[in-house]
Amino acid sequence: MEMVKMISSELIVPSEKTPKNPLWLSNLDITARKGYTTTVYFYRSNKNTSHDFSVESLKLSLAKTLVPFYLLAGRLGTDKNGRMQINCTGEGVLFVVAHSDNTLEDIDSFAPTNETRNLFVPLTPQPDIPLMLQVTVFKCGGIALGTALHHIFADGRSAFHFFETWANITRGEVNCIEQPWLDRTLLRARLDPKGMFDPLEYKSVPKPIISSSISTSYASSIIKISKKHINLLKLHCGDTDGAHVSAFRAITALIWRCICMARTLDTNSKSRLYTMIDMRSRMCPPLPPTYFGNAAIRTSVSAVVGDIISGSINHVAKRIHEATSQGDDYARSLIDSLETIDMEKLPRSGLPASDLRVISWLGMPIYKADFGLGEPVLLSPAMMHYSGYVYLMDSPGKDAGVSIVIALEPENMLAFKKLLFQKLAALEV
């Protein structure tokens, strides 16, 4: 797409007076990625809607939404001991309006790249503003909503809760608003730490023997898997006793296998899969469903490449299941363990070319951000962080399956796609 033209830029502040007390951050917040999660929603022009859509209505409803979500209008700061916290200053969020002479005709070919991020998401100002938004109006009347939310303020589930709430307020549906739970002390480390351990997933990756072992350049693609193929894959990944296998574990097992094959990794070497677990419902007692913050923990599993490629797919899925089944005891011990390290200096880097990271947005309300134009025809990360990064998300439309958003080395992407489609086709035999 061609460059977009910025029309205006301003800070939107809460429409009412909001609390000024600083918000304490949990260890899971402080160890979150020190940067932004960027997304872009695309909407087609909808003349049949009963709602009057306008950029001004978005600004007004955003100001109202920032009242319950007032922390997003604040700024990162530190307390008297130097620990990171959110200063609820009410300074506001960045709101940019832009125009494009393009249309949304080529939306099916969209892929997240650094270029698309720069087109549809505001550039990061200094000092950092936790939430940045850009509304791009296309010549055809379509809209792109680009978002950048600082990860220390919220994880994926919390972010989608905010955007769904903003959309509901825009449409005037204020009776269905679910208030965010802002007290993060529910995830405070215990006074009597138990089960302390050295969390591998919160360390830097080992330095490669050669610099090219970490790939920073990537090609990206969005690949859709039908619900039919997902059900067949889950069946193949299941145990002989009929044990249930989630769509996430089944699809991730297949992706891991195909990436190892596409990269032609040494079968005697090892590959590590990194992922996250949302702990809201796994804590004891469970966290409030609307807990707003970072409530996901990192986990990983390593396996010999030959076993990933040639072993049974249900064995690979079982390994993933074992790595993603932790409960309250593990999460509490992890939070206690993070207390002993310098959390704010944790390194952030890419992955060795043998590894991958899979983030699940499955089951999240990603298409409920209807601002009066209907559901988005596409939601995607605006960019990918590095090669080997994968998102799984529900495809748009009822019973539409799952979309794989993947970044991979340019020289391996074509082989990965070919292998993935071959494996899916073989499920029907």
Residue type (1 letter), 299: T
* C-beta neighbour count of 355 within 10 angstroms: 20
Nearest CA-CA partner of 247 in 176, 164, 180, 321: 321
Nearest CA-CA partner of 67 in 90, 85, 87, 86: 90
What crossing angle do the helices spanning 247-262 and 227-237 adopt, rounded to 10°? Answer: 90
Nearest CA-CA partner of 255 in 201, 320, 209, 300: 320
| Residue 147 near residue 38, CB atoms below 8 Å | yes
- Report CA 355 to chain centroid distance, whole Å: 18
Q: Which candidate in 355, 370, 385, 394 is catalytic?
A: 370
| Residue 183 near residue 61, CB atoms below 8 Å | no
* C-beta neighbour count of 40 within 10 angstroms: 24
Q: How far apart are the first and last CA of the chain?
A: 41
Nearest CA-CA partner of 418 in 217, 230, 223, 218: 223
| Residue 134 near residue 122, CB atoms below 8 Å | yes
Known catalytic residue at 307: no
Tell me the three state secondary structure of residue 357. strand
| Residue 294 near residue 154, CB atoms below 8 Å | yes
Two tokens at 292?
């707003």
Question: What stretches of 54-175 adopt beta strand conformation (E)?
Answer: 75-78, 84-87, 93-100, 131-138, 143-150
Known catalytic residue at 151: yes
The Cα 46–Cα 182 span in angstroms is: 35
Q: Which candidate in 99, 151, 236, 315 is catalytic?
A: 151
Tell me the three state secondary structure of residue 194. coil
Give the residue carrying structure tokens 């035999």. 429
Name the helix (H) or strand (E) containing 235.
helix 227-237
Nearest CA-CA partner of 272 in 197, 357, 350, 209: 357
The Cα 365–Cα 230 span in angstroms is: 20
* C-beta neighbour count of 120 within 10 angstroms: 27
The Cα 351–Cα 357 span in angstroms is: 8
* Residues with active-site annotation: 151, 370
